[in-house]
Structure 1
Amino acid sequence: MNWTRLLPAALVVVLIGVFAALLLGPERAADDPLVGEAVPTVTLEALAGQPGFDPGSIEGPYLINIWGSWCPPCRAEHPMLQRLADEGVPIYGIAWRDSPENASGFLAELGNPFAGVVLDPRGELVIALGATGAPETFVVDADGIIRARYTGPLTPDAIARDIWPVWMDVNR
């Protein structure tokens, strides 16, 4: 076997992998253009029986979570959201591309960690937030400024590494 021919090819594969991980990895909050900006104001319908979401009327820090009943990763992260809510973290849910019936059924089945839920069938707020899919979670400070963004399903490691430190900082 000729290692001198394989080594450059292996190096290229490794470099492509590193760049892909950096570009596509979930921890892209540091260079997110909306981090440091106010939460966009988009008027959406509240899910029946739920408070809505009006960034201008919320006092104190909170999380925004984009989810859908059709989204398997959203289902997987739901226990993490419930755990955060049980610890007193206010979370506002944006049911993206979902029907009221399916969104309500999802919450009835798995529990409702949200302080308020709005329906975003056309993706108006999702687009305004610059979200690329579901799930995505944003940490918002008491002034309504986005302080962090996490793309992908929340896990205990992701919460400990990317959400909780920012959450503690905005609660000082």
Structure 2
Amino acid sequence: MALKVVPLRNIYESLDGSVIVLLGTLIAVADVIETTGAADLLAQVLLDNLAQGSAVVALALILIVTMTLSDFMNNVATAAVMCSIAFSTAEQLAVNPDSFLMAVAIGASCAFLTPVGHQNNTLILGPGGFDFGDYWRMGLPLEILVVLVSIPMLLWVWPL
């Protein structure tokens, strides 16, 4: 665009308005989750019932929940919603939030279980002759591998 190789009109025409509206709406939803205290409540439920006060377990749960949501939602929307929950979780544990926020970034990028989680998965569904369930065969081991590698790396690079 800056070099005038691609006309500005082509760029505007290639933008999908529904995606822009979706992202804008979900950013507002993420803000509502934070300002109403829902993020604090969800973080407290996560800590009390599942993590039982363990920062490492909470970190793994944030990663896994984010990965699961990104299989059904847009990854940017997932990150927007999960960031406030991850930050609140780290705040309640009184630990460095960097590792929790990076867990959200990693998890939001891992949409391997469904063809609807990422546009690339959707694009290869028909031409590849895949069924909805075919994504689980390779996606589940890949997501397990991501969790097994990510948690130690997050703790090493961004200590709690």
What TM bracket, shorter-length normalisation? under 0.3
Task: Output the TM-score relative to the length of structure 1.
Answer: 0.26
Task: Output the TM-score relative to the length of structure 2.
Answer: 0.27
Higher RCO (CA 8 Å, separation ≥ 6 residues): 1
Higher helix share: 2
Higher strand share: 1
